[in-house]
Structure 1
Amino acid sequence: MDTKIFSLTSPTIKEGHFMAKEQEFDGFGCNGNNISPELNWHNAPSGTKSFVLTVFDPDAPTGSGFWHWIVADIPGSATGLAQGAGKGSLPPGCRSFINDFGIKEFGGACPPEGHGMHRYQFTIWALPEETLPAADDARAAVVGFMLNAMALGKATLTATYAR
């Protein structure tokens, strides 16, 4: 692995592989454990002062995908999030935004039954500011717009799930 490349890894989920039932949502007809995976990032771009983590399903039958988790203001000194951090045990100072389930915590995979394989894009964004300049009630589209406009870099790990 080239040590200069900003990357996102996990001992819990693997690139292109099926996630475990523990990462399935508990609700909306799903009955998983809704546990966020351990995530680790490496080689953040120079000048990084904070990170934002997003989890997005581009295959959801909505016309606009489905946001499962958005966490901003992760300290620039952080190198990962522990398994289960999505249930309220984020580093101090982090802000979560409302996902498409209507909650501010991790919302696991929950594709419609029989809809086929869905991709879950876990993306870590490196920012040049300590805080994301978004209101606490900002919608995912606004956060996404800001991230694409200001990120120094991003790294994505894509896992899959189907029911």
Structure 2
Amino acid sequence: MSENVTESDETFSLTSSATPDGTVVAPPQLVEALGGQNLSPDLAWSDAPEGTRSFAITCYDPDAPTGSGFWHWVAWDIPATSTSLPQGVAREDAGSPIRQAVNDFGNVGYDGPEPPAGAPHRYQFSIHALPVETLGVEHGAANVQARFAIFTQQLASTSLTARYQVTG
């Protein structure tokens, strides 16, 4: 379940009641074209490493036929006091400290699975513990800019993986 986690942080974990690790992506998380509501799943985490000053969330499909996968969601500046996000994080919320990048669909925020027909795709939801209160990346930035800041600074990360397949 964990990746990029140092030995001292083996308890850092991520869960979702809507889309638990190893299951099929829940219908509300799918794009509307597949009968979903295009809502980000609820996520909860615990046992972040010492020194965590904020969190970031990513959702990545490594099976997309692009040669480089597909980024469905990149969000950051989640306060260190947070231990969860509700289902359906708003794309724009002036009252929220959370910043979100433009995903590979070209939209700010979360967009759910919409794979082509064929083999199942994996959707890796990850929480990243960061040593900074803010990444210094603007809301609506390109996801590569936010990901670079996240991946070059993270203290630890942990993931859950769900899958989805379009047949026929």
Alpha-carbon spacing, 1:144–1:22, altered in 2? closer, same or farther (3 Å): same
Alignment length (residue pairs)? 158
Corresponding residue for residue 157 of structure 1: 160
Taking structure 1 as reference, are residues 136 and 20 closer, same or farther at Cα in structure 2, changes over 3 Å only? closer
Alpha-carbon deviation of 1:149?
1.4
User: Please, which of 109, 134, 137 is the counterpart of residue 137 of structure 2?
Assistant: 134
For the residues of structure 2 that align with 1:132 and 1:31, how far apart are their CA atoms?
35
Q: 1:77 to 1:67 in 2, by over 3 A?
A: same
Go from structure 1 to structure 2 and tell me whether the alpha carbon gap of 1:90 and 1:64 turns closer, same or farther (over 3 Å shift).
farther
What is aligned with 1:5? Answer: 11
Q: Is the 8 A contact 2:100 2:140 kept in 1?
A: no
The residue matched to 1:67 in structure 2 has which SS?
strand
CA deviations on 1:105-160 (whole Å, 9 max, x unpaired) are 210011012x2100000001011101113344542223222222110110101110
CA-based RMSD: 2.0
Point out 4+ residue stretches in structure 1 off by more than 4 angstroms.
86-91
Deviation at 1:14, TM superposition (A): 1.5
Residue pair 1:81, 1:90 contacting (<8 A) in 2 also: no
Letter in 1 for 2:124: Q
| 2:29 equivalent to 1:23 | yes
2:4 maps to which residue? none
**Identity percentage of aligned residues:** 43
1:51 and 1:73 in contact (8 A); partners too? yes
Match of 1:52 in 2: 56
Aligned residue identity for 2:145: V
Structure 1 pair 25–143 and aligned structure 2 pair: CA distance change class (3 A): same
Matching of residues 78-93 of structure 1 within 5 Å: 78-88=82-92, 92-93=96-97
Task: State the shift of 1:32 in Å.
Answer: 1.8
| TM value normalised by structure 1 | 0.88
Mapped partners of 2:61, 2:109: distance in 1 = 16
2:5 matched to which residue of 1? none
